[in-house]
Amino acid sequence: MLLDYARLNLDDAGNPRSERYHDIYYSGNGFAETEHTYINGNRLHERFARCTGNITIGEIGYGTGLNLIHTADAFLHDAPPSARLHYLSFERHPIATSDLARLWQNWPQPALRAAILAQNPHNHAGHHLLKIHPRIHLHLILGDIRDTLPPLRARVDAWYLDGFAPAKNPDCWTPALMQEIARHSAPGATIATFSAAATVRDALSQAGFTPEKIPGYGAKRDMLTATLTTLPAPRPHWNNQPAAADGPVAIIGAGIAGSTTARALAESGRRVTLYHSDAHPAASHVPLAVPYLNPDSEDSPDRPYQLATWHHAMRALHTYPRNIYNPCGVTNHAENPREIRRQQALLNAQLLNADEISGNATDLTYPRGGVIHLPALLAAL
């Protein structure tokens, strides 16, 4: 599913403004405002400094990505090498990549900015996991947060409530949403928000947070911080299991699945042992592979997952040099009426942008597709 892009313009002071919500993304020195409101409001400098494992930050309103860039900058400055940052952010109307590039021209952390722009998921609804630094993952969820947050399984340590003002965007400030935020929070989780509205304060209190009004940034008199002091009652879930211990991991099989899993676990700080026998080669030992998208032809519970895995694979493969992945494009030729109907249904569903899919029901082309040189990929992993 493709979402509507954000419609924005610049006001007289050069600040980006949403045409849809008639509100600004940030004003004046946005980084100083983020520092005061969200970094200091959640006491993140000290929390980063003493973090030796993983810390998860949740953000309602990804917007321009300003909070992410500044938070990543603070994390890399304050946190020890063993720490990892998982940045979970929700956005309903993403900003186009070209607009982000213009807004980011003079921002700090050029390497992070380049990594995000190269992997930007555009306007595809769903979950997008971007590795923007060896120690930082951005989990960007695009869509209506009223639909995307409830089924999520997460334990967030600190929240940024940074949607547009409650009067302009009430869907991001409802009591029901605050209950969901509490349900997805770790014990003692904190919240910071620019808003000091009584409705927001009351909704936080009802959800089990203890809010506190403190001085806001600049000319803004007040803002809110809050701490989760009353844990919500747990809800039954088909996959309720205790978190795995942070011990060593053994993986059997060093094909694509085993090697990529081992790489991801190692980057998260786990000790991994990979077992493989050359006497029993698997399918990953063929010299070449051609990935292509084959989602369900009709809407189904599986199709969002199929699309998410395709986008994730494309983001990962496009980071490799051409001797590993050659993005020459892939064309699927339908050889029978059933395949033609399937490919026509895929075109009709408008799941991808024009630069990601082209052609017709007989010959469907994925311009970002290509050829994987498997021995080189496995060696790189």
Cβ neighbours for 373, distance < 8 A, ≥ 6 positions apart: 287, 288, 323, 324, 325, 326
Q: What is the mean pLDDT of the chain?
A: 90
Highest mean pLDDT among 206-210, 239-243, 290-294: 206-210
CA-nearest of 335, 330, 336, 366 to 351 is: 366
Q: Is the pLDDT of residue 367 over 60?
A: yes
Residue 137 lies in a domain: yes
The burial of 158, by beta-carbon neighbours within 10 Å (0-12 exposed, 13-18 middle, 19 or more buried), is given as buried
Residue 205: strand, helix, or coil: helix
pLDDT band at 180 (very low <50, low <70, confident <90, very high): very high
User: 17: which DSSP letter?
Assistant: E
3-state secondary structure 230-294: CCCCCCCCCCCCCCCCCCCEEEECCCHHHHHHHHHHHHCCCCEEEECCCCCCCHHHCCEECCCCC
Token pair for 322:
């051409």
Whether 274 and 290 map to the same domain: the answer is no
Q: Mean pLDDT, to the nearest integer, of 239-264?
A: 82
Query: Which is it for the CA torsion 23, 25, 31, 34, positive or negative?
Result: positive
- As a whole-number percent, the residues of the chain with pLDDT over 90 amount to 63
**Does residue 207 fall inside a structural domain?**
yes
Give me the amino acid identity at 234.
P
Higher local confidence (pLDDT), 325 or 234:
325
Q: Lowest mean pLDDT of 201-210, 241-250, 348-357, name the range.
A: 241-250
Residue 243 confidence (pLDDT) above 80: no
| Residue 282: pLDDT over 80 | no
Tell me: do 249 and 300 sit in the same domain: no
Q: What contacts 131, CB < 8 A, 6 or more positions away?
A: 115, 119, 137, 267
What share of the chain has pLDDT > 70, as a percent?
A: 96
Residue count of the chain: 381
Kindly state whether residues 280 and 294 are assigned to the same domain: no
Give the C-alpha separation, 362 to 334, whole Å: 5
> Is 319 part of a structural domain of the chain?
yes
Most confident of 4-18, 125-139, 272-286: 125-139
Expressed in percent and rounded to 5, the helix, strand and coil fractions of the chain are 30, 25, 45
- What are the tokens at 274? 């990979």
Helix pair angle (175-183, 198-206), 10° resolution: 40
The answer to whether 193 touches 224, Cβ cutoff 8 Å, is yes
Of 228, 252, 276, the one marking the end of a domain is 228
- Cα angle: 167, vertex 161, 267; to 5 degrees: 150
Reply yes or no on whether the pLDDT at 124 is more than 70: yes
Element (H, E) at 47: helix 44-49
Say how many domains are in the chain. 3
State the pLDDT at residue 281. Answer: 60
Q: Please indicate, yes or no, whether residues 203 and 291 belong to a single structural domain of this protein.
A: no
Would residue 170 count as lying in a domain? Answer: yes
Which DSSP letter does residue 369 get? -
> What is d(CA 315, CA 129) in angstroms, rounded to the nearest whole number?
9
- Strands (E) located in 277-357: 288-289, 325-326, 330-333
Residue 153 belongs to domain spanning: 8-228
Q: Does 25 share its domain with 122?
A: yes
Q: What is the arithmetic mean of pLDDT over 298-322?
A: 89
Strand order of the β-sheet with 156-161 is 126-133, 136-142, 84-91, 54-60, 156-161, 185-193, 222-228, 209-215
Contact 76, 134 (CB under 8 A): no
Q: Measured in whole angstroms, how far is the alpha carbon of residue 109 from the centre of its chain?
A: 18
State the pTM of this model.
0.89
CB atoms near residue 339 (< 10 Å): 15
pLDDT score recorded for residue 276: 85
Q: Which CATH number is 30's domain given?
A: 3.40.50.150
Average pLDDT over residues 171-184: 96
Residues 208 and 266 in one domain: no
Determine the Cα–Cα distance for residues 22 and 169; give it in Å rounded to an integer.
Answer: 10
Please report the pLDDT score of residue 22 as a whole number: 86
Neighbouring CB atoms inside 10 A of 344's CB total: 16
Going by their DSSP bridges, the two strands 272-275 and 249-252 should be labelled as parallel
Q: Say if residue 288's pLDDT is above 60.
A: yes
Q: 354 and 312, same structural domain? A: yes
Average pLDDT over residues 350-372: 91
Band (pLDDT 50/70/90 cuts) for residue 222 is: very high
Note the pLDDT of residue 241: 64
Q: Give yes or no: residues 277 and 203 share one domain.
A: no
User: How many CA within 13 A on the CB side of residue 192?
Assistant: 21
Does residue 269 fall inside a structural domain? Answer: yes
User: Do both 129 and 269 map to the same domain?
Assistant: no
